Each structure stands twice: as C-alpha cells, then as structure tokens.
Amino acid sequence: GENVEQHPSTLSVQEGDSAVIKCTYSDSASNYFPWYKQELGKRPQLIIDIRSNVGEKKDQRIAVTLNKTAKHFSLHITETQPEDSAVYFCAAGLSGSARQLTFGSGTQLTVLP
Amino acid sequence: GAVVSQHPSWVICKSGTSVKIECRSLDFQATTMFWYRQFPKQSLMLMATSNEGSKATYEQGVEKDKFLINHASLTLSTLTVTSAHPEDSSFYICSAILAGGPASTDTQYFGPGTRLTVL
C-alpha cells in the first residue's frame, strides 16, 4: 500500500517569512495530492491539491509543487501570518476513483508574530 | 456547500457500553464516506471505507465486529463502537466524497469530529 512521509514534524517561522513542508510517497500509481490544514480542535480543511498532470499549482500565498519522478511534493506558504499556525497534513491517493487517501504524519506550523 | 456534520460532538460513556456516531452530508450526496481515528498530535488513521448500500471495507487491524459501520443512505453513515473500553477513547472523524461527478470531486470533506471518552 501507499506510504506517505512528511517533514518536518514541527516548524516555526517569523511572521512574513516563508514555510515549506515536504512529503514523499511510495506508490507510483498515486496521482492526487491534497493538503489539509487542521486548526486545534477543528476539522481538517482542504487548502490546495494537485494532480500528477501538473508540476505546480498556486493559490495566492500557497503553492504546491510535485516531482513525479522523485515521488515527492511540497507545500509552500509565503508571507506567513499568525493565522497560518495550524497542523498541515499532506496526503496521496488516486483521482476519480473515490479511493482512500493516505495521510502524512502532519506538521505543526507556528508563525511567530 | 459540501458540509459534513457529526453527532455527537463529544460523548462520555462507561466501559462496556456501545456508542453510535453519526456522519451526515448536509447538502450533497455521498456514495463513499470514510471513518478515521485521530490520537492527540497524530495523523488521521483510516479505519474503514463506507459505501452506500454495501458492507464497509475495514483497514488491517481494525476489528469490524467492534466498530460497526452502516451506510444506509447517500447522506448518512454511522459508526457504532461496541463494548467500548478506555483504549477506544479517541477523536473519530468522518469524511465524505461527492457522489459521481468529475475528478474535481476527489475532495474529501471532513466532519468536525467526535471526542469519545470511555471511563
């Protein structure tokens, strides 16, 4: 089955700096890679996703890059703000088949004011 | 749109009793719902995949007789923790996928979770 590794487990940055979280996956068949943000005590919320037919996707301050050959993908947050503080999970799965996602272990991001 | 609710949001029960958790898709139909368990400061561990009108598919190591899943309609799945014990205490979260549609419906929409405490 799929195995997703996520690093780092904790990340502290100064407000305004950038944050990068990296994930690797093992199953070359995976072609759907979402990122979820989970604030303390709340539900995970999708913030961005990418499919294997593209290498990069941006949405305002958030971007995700995918390297299919190396089987890794990364989340980039620029101009970080205190409200970006949360746990971020990457995941990998198959698009369009309603199959389950395999989640990474999560990264606790703290943005220091 | 795409709101998923869970009920109850928290429950405390005595050891040996059963607890039912409901997961509802409020404004869309979901042929597939997933049940996860999340320990403090840990990731989402998939317990089972629930498909409307058929038996759930359980992940390895998850006891199907202990965690009963029923997906009787396109908007409701239930998880029943039978004969609960303190080690079953955890945060249980469901998610749902929009039925049919293009690849853009890959998104899993999560419920707010249920905190179960077994005394």
Q: Please state the rounded mean pLDDT for residues B70-80.
A: 91
Of B43, B46, B112, the CB nearest to A104: B43
- Residue A113 at interface with chain B, using a CB cutoff of 8 Å: no
Q: Give the three-class secondary structure for B108.
A: strand
Q: Which residues of A15-32 are buried (b: 16+ CB within 10 A; e: fewer)?
A: eeeebbbbbbbeeeebbb
Is 60 exceeded by the pLDDT of residue A58?
Answer: yes
Write down the pLDDT at residue B54: 84
> For position B52, what pLDDT does the model report?
82
Nearest to B35 by CA among B83, B73, B117, B90: B90
User: Under an 8 A CB cutoff, do B42 and A101 touch?
Assistant: no
- DSSP codes, B21-71: EEEEESSS--SEEEEEEE-TT--EEEEEEEETTS--EEPTT--TTTEEEEE
Structure tokens of A37? 């943000």
Q: Choose the closest CB to A46 out of B34, B46, B107.
A: B107
Q: Determine the distance in angstroms separating the CA of A106 from the nearest CA of chain B, rounded to an integer.
A: 6
Using one digit for the tens of pLDDT, what is the confidence trace for A14-44? 999 999 999 999 999 999 999 999 998 889 9
User: What's the average model confidence in pLDDT over A82-105?
Assistant: 89
> Stretch B4-23: mean pLDDT, rounded?
96
Q: Is the pLDDT of residue B14 over 80?
A: yes
Q: Say whether residue A108 is in contact with chain B using an 8 A CB cutoff.
A: yes
Tell me if chain B has a CB within 8 Å of the CB of A96: yes
Tens digits of per-residue pLDDT, B20-52?
A: 999 999 988 887 899 999 988 889 999 999 888
